[in-house]
Amino acid sequence: MRRKVLSFIAYLVLALIIAYIISHRYTPSLDIGATAPLDAQLSKLNKPLLINFWATWCSPCEQELPIINKLSQKFNNITFVGLVIDSNKEDINFIKNKLNINYIIYETTSSTVKKWHAELLPTTYLIDSQGKIAWAHAGLIQEKELEKALKMLK
């Protein structure tokens, strides 16, 4: 009986360690207040910025895009940018047209995704007017949560 209990505890500890590693591996790890790693293309845009990493093959991304599009119309003092990874132009244009996306969309590279710690898609960052990270979220976001974060930048 003691052996079974010890085995169970060992498996439980292992499961908790794995869950911890997985959950922390995919959280944006750029610190709030840190300077955003803006490349030349993004640096030219007016700040504040919302930067959303997504892909055409990512189902949660496609669920999130209408929310971001809607809020881009409401918060016109913030520049909204979608950075698309691992997607072909035809698929990008299809989704842009299907969802009537009216904010900036750029294709990006895996090195940019790594620089931003945006391996989990979608990942969204808010950049303040000084180019500092004001807020970050990895994974599908709810409209109310994003709207609350955007109001911080107003």
Tens digits of per-residue pLDDT, 60-74? Answer: 999 999 999 999 999
What is the per-residue pLDDT for 17? 65
Residue-wise pLDDT for 128-141, tens only, equals 999 999 999 999 99
Q: Give all domains of the chain, ordered by start, each with its CATH number.
A: 29-153 (3.40.30.10)
Q: 82-138, pLDDT tens digit by residue?
A: 999 999 999 999 999 999 999 999 999 999 999 999 988 999 999 999 999 999 999
Query: pTM here?
Result: 0.81
Residues 6+ positions from 112 with CB-CB distance below 8 Å: 39, 83, 85
pLDDT digits (tens, 9 = 90+) for 5-61: 777 777 777 766 665 555 544 556 688 889 999 888 888 888 899 999 999 999 999
What confidence score (pLDDT) does residue 146 get?
95
User: What residues does 136 pair with on adjacent strands?
Assistant: 125
Alpha carbon distance 125, 60 (integer Å):
16
What pLDDT, on a 0 to 100 scale, did the predictor assign at position 55? Answer: 96
DSSP-derived pairing of the beta strands 49-54 and 123-127:
antiparallel
User: Who wins on pLDDT, 149 or 46?
Assistant: 149
Q: At what angle do helices 59-74 and 89-99 cross, to 10 degrees?
A: 50
